[in-house]
A = this chain, B = another copy of it.
Amino acid sequence: MQEKQKNKATSNNPIGIFDSGFGGLTVMSAINKALPLENLIYFGDSAHVPYGAKSKNAIIKFSKKIVSFLIKNRVKMIVVACNTASALALSVLQKTFKSPVIGVIEPGSKAAVSASKNKKIGVIGTDGTINSKSYPKEINKISKSDVYQQSCPLFVPLVEEGWVEGEIADSIVKKYVEPLLSKNIDTLILGCTHYPFLRKTLEKNLGKGVILVDSAKATAQEVKNVLKQKSLLASGKNKGFLKFYVSDNPEKFQAIGNRFFSKRVSRVKKIEMD
């Protein structure tokens, strides 16, 4: 009974979610939809954004500081809602911290393997994610497949500029996906949390034969599995709270966040990380 009460107390602790910027809000949104009772704390590392082209050591250092901050805020588990940080820092975070830490690469890979029929899977992401080869490694742990990768450094600024459709978006998307199409892929992993905002233009340029896999939903499902297994799912009747922290520019995060997040992004607080 005592043990159960202890669990009950911990189960209402929040889930910590972090990303280099606001892209991870798509993952937070999916978690909030799947688990509306959970309290969620988001951290966007806007002082160091973007992570895509930074070194492994730097990403590990930034990620450790953020996870320490989240743990001080008594989170019961941590979601690395950033593909680059999942690719480069997840295993170190799992070794360093006791709380469960999950990333977006394993759930995304599982979803892609389920979706693909011809076992030719494409992956698009930042330089950091692509160079780490995390997706090909993870996919081939699950099922032997041909994995074709392409880094797309212009996609993040394109999304942030708001140019997600039109002539310019078309020509950039076309240039990046052509080498993948020539490999006859039937599934494409959107290996960066910004990329789902380019979904329409991607679909237009890829044609109907290619299924797009966005890790957000799959990751939310994985969060549910982990919490269930550890008897840490939030209970009660009240909807969970949503809190937002950033390392720079809270006003900008709030403005852009409201374009990208399904709920209102408000009262964003700035935390000095250096």
A: which residues have CB within 8 A of B?
46-48, 53-55, 57-58, 61, 153-154, 156-158, 160-161, 163, 167-168, 171-172, 175, 248-249, 252, 273-274
Whether the pair A171, B161 counts as a contact (CB closer than 8 A) is no
**A274 contacts across to B, CB distance below 8 A:** 61, 273-274
A-B contacts besides A47-B54, A47-B58, 20 pairs, CB < 8 Å:
A47-B48, A48-B48, A53-B160, A53-B249, A53-B252, A54-B248, A55-B248, A58-B249, A153-B157, A153-B160, A154-B154, A154-B158, A154-B161, A154-B163, A167-B171, A168-B168, A168-B172, A168-B175, A171-B171, A273-B274
Which residue of B has the minimal Cβ distance to A160?
B153
**How many protomers of this protein does the assembly include?**
2
B contact residues around A47 at 8 Å (CB): 48, 54, 58
- Can you name the residue of chain B whose Cβ is closest to the Cβ of A247? B58
The reply to whether B168 and A249 form a contact with Cβ atoms under 8 Å apart is no
Which residue of chain B lies nearest to A52 when distances are taken between CB atoms in the complex?
B157
Instruction: Name the B residues within 8 Å of A157 (CB-CB).
Output: 153-154, 156-157
Residue of B nearest to A152 (CB): B161
